């Protein structure tokens, strides 16, 4: 350096600052779609006390993990989960191609528009059987590659029946900003969905900038086979991990091996994931669907998490009050 300048210290500082700017992602105005209210202030304050080296509660960058639920947390889940639209449209397509399928489940109930079979599995707590019937059975014996193509086609052509928008129109701009803000603060962000992970992986990189290796969800057991010199994964008829309730922290433990210090969810299915982080000293946020004008207002499946939010100090995000914008494309 000394040979290159009359003021080596100045140049060194200048170059280091520039190098830092090149290396880390900086954001012009983080959380721009968040009103300057309680939730935003709590998030910014948490990030500061976590990332400032002089802070008592500083967390080294390599230990900064954040987990996000997907349905109702990153994108709209009403009136039905996007994943479910995909499953039912595929089941209907299969019935049209082969009516003999309607002799057995899950095709039978779908053909008869009778939810009682599924409801009974649910009320008997046979959640894995229910998930196997819906996530696995319609795609059983299919290669993982074919499944991914199907998911790609379905999501590319999906139009929301009430909002009339495609899949990009369903994601929440403030949450996208939150992901970028965490990343700018050197968090590694994972999506932990109750949907099938293999389904969400197909779109998560384009929609959220989260690559497949950080998207996890419910999984269908796949077999590994080599046919004519081609390695393949073939889907079975069984769900081997149901990623809801306690399944979420169990999966997080398996994939991250540590407790995330930031977690975001919106319903009872996220309870244990949010508790794990909040009781472990991190920040949990609960997206509360309060905005009937711009999205949907509802409290279905929040009876367990709403009381816990106040008991355990989670941050409740009031969509109507905390967000000045909901959609990335400004369509609200």
Binding residues for its own copies, rule: CB under 8 A, are 4, 14-16, 18-23, 62, 65, 144, 188, 197-198, 201, 211-213, 215, 219, 222-224, 226, 229-231, 233, 246, 249-250, 253-259, 272, 275-276, 279-280
292: helix, coil or strand?
A: coil
Of 100, 112, 103, 63, which is closest to residue 256 (Cα–Cα)? 63
Judged by beta carbon, residue 249 or residue 265, the one nearer its own copies is 249
Q: Residue 264's closest CA among 252, 253, 274, 251?
A: 274
Residue of 182, 200, 178 whose CA lies nearest to 191: 200
CB-wise, 250 or 321, nearer to its own copies? 250
Q: Which is nearer to its own copies, 70 or 219 (CB)?
A: 219
For its own copies, which is the closer residue by CB, 43 or 251? Answer: 251
Q: Give the DSSP per-residue string, 25-89.
A: ---SSTTTTB-SSHHHHHHHHHHHHHH-TTSTT---GGG-EEEE--BTTTB---SS-HHHHHHHH
CA distance 3 to 189: 43
Question: Based on CB atoms, which residue is closest to its own copies, 108 or 250?
Answer: 250
Question: From the CB of 216, what's the least distance to its own copies, in Å?
Answer: 8
The least distance separating its own copies from the CB of residue 60, rounded to whole angstroms, comes to 11
| Cβ neighbour number for residue 251 with a 10 Å cutoff | 23
**For its own copies, which is the closer residue by CB, 67 or 319?**
67
Residues 6 or more apart from 109 whose CB is under 8 A from it? 115, 116, 117, 118
Q: Shortest gap between Cβ of 19 and its own copies (angstroms)?
A: 4
| CA pair distance 223, 217, nearest whole angstrom | 18
In whole angstroms, give the CA distance from residue 38 to residue 103: 55
Least gap, CB of 10 to its own copies (angstroms): 10
Q: How far is the CB of 23 from its own copies (least distance, A)?
A: 5
- Extract the tokens encoding 62: 């390599």
Q: Measured from the CB atom, is 18 or 32 closer to its own copies? A: 18
Contact 286, 263 (CB under 8 A): no
CA dihedral 98, 102, 104, 109 (to 10 degrees): 140
């Amino acid at each position: 350096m000394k040979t290159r300048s009359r003021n080596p210290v100045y140049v060194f500082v200048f170059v280091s600052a520039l190098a830092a700017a090149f290396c880390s992602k900086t954001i012009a105005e983080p959380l721009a779609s968040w009103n300057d209210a309680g939730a935003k202030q709590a998030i910014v304050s948490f990030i500061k006390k976590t990332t400032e080296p002089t802070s008592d509660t500083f967390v080294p960058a390599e230990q900064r993990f954040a987990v996000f639920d997907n349905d109702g947390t990153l994108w709209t889940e009403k009136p039905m989960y996007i994943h479910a639209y995909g499953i039912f449209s595929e089941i209907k397509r299969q019935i049209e191609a082969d009516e003999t399928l309607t002799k057995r489940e899950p095709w039978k109930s779908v053909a008869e528009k009778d939810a009682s079979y599924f409801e009974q599995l649910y009320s008997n707590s046979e959640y894995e059987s229910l998930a196997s019937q819906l996530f696995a059975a319609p795609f059983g014996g299919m290669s993982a590659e074919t499944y991914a193509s199907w998911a790609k086609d379905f999501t590319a052509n999906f139009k929301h029946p009430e909002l009339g928008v495609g899949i990009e129109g369903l994601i929440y701009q403030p949450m996208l900003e939150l992901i970028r803000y965490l990343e700018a603060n050197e968090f590694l962000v994972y999506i932990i969905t109750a949907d099938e992970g293999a389904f969400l992986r197909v779109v998560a990189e384009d929609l959220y900038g989260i690559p497949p290796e950080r998207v996890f969800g419910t999984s269908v057991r796949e077999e590994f086979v080599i046919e004519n010199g081609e390695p393949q994964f073939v889907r079975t008829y069984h769900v081997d991990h149901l990623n809801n309730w306690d399944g979420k922290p169990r999966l997080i433990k398996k994939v991250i091996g540590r407790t995330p210090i930031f977690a975001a969810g919106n319903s009872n299915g996220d309870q244990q994931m949010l508790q794990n982080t909040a009781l472990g000293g991190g920040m949990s946020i609960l997206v509360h669907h309060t905005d009937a004008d711009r999205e949907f207002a509802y409290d279905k499946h929040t009876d367990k998490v709403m009381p816990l939010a106040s008991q355990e100090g989670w941050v409740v995000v009031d969509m109507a009050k905390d967000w000045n914008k909901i959609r990335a494309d400004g369509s609200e």
